[in-house]
Amino acid sequence: MVEAITAQEMQLLERYTIDEIGVSPLVLMERTAMSVIEVLGAGDFDLSNVLVLCGLGNNGGDGIAIARLLIQKGINVDLLILGDEKRASPRTLNQLNIARNYGIEVKQRASDFRSYTAIVDALFGIGLSKPVPAKLGDVIKRINSANVPVVSVDTPSGLDATTGEILGSSIRAAATVTFGYAKTGLLKNEGLKRAGNIYVKDIGVYKYPDFDAEQASAE
């Protein structure tokens, strides 16, 4: 049986790793980005023209780091941030500053998604608990209709990572790279149709003393 935990359980593990163990959240973001790069570079995806789509939350920060590492490798990447940067999370703002220090252009308008050979979805992460706003839902629908392979970061945007239900609109991913453990929502309901191939990557998240992934998987 695949060990899977809820979004809330993963958030507790991340908080414990950062607050109690003392691992920097930026270190976790870099490890997250490197894990996605590993999947992207394994040969299953055409990386000749990549779009990295980012939201304002921490998942978007992961996406910005992914874009930076791809560009470091000489890959043609468009980095698209949807939303007002002033409302971005502190970690995402930090990643934006790093990207700009490296000379990366940040786009803020969606273009023709069909022109890309692969799309990295870092719009919404496992923290999403309410329906996707209509404008972003339209973007998701356009991406799905473009028939370009999508790799989602942690969970397909718009999918409840715990229940597997669609929150208004959801990305249909070719692959999902998730971290620490699989999320329960990827393995049931609409998650079975939306997550694509699931890759579980270790990014160095620590277990708190009474954590039991097997028990979490059975609940």
Residue stretches of the annotated binding site: 58-62, 121, 125-131, 154, 157
> Who's near 210: CB < 8 A, 6+ residues apart?
none
CA distance 46 to 24: 33
Three-state secondary structure call for residue 183: strand
Rg of the Cα trace of the chain?
16
Binding site for K(+): residue ranges? 59, 121, 157
> Tokens 């040969």 correspond to what residue?
43
Is 198:175 a contact under the CB 8 Å cutoff? yes
End-to-end CA distance of the chain: 13
Three-state secondary structure call for residue 33: helix
Binding site for (6S)-NADPHX: residue ranges? 58-62, 125-131, 154
Alpha-carbon torsion, ordered 14, 18, 23, 24, to 10 deg: 100
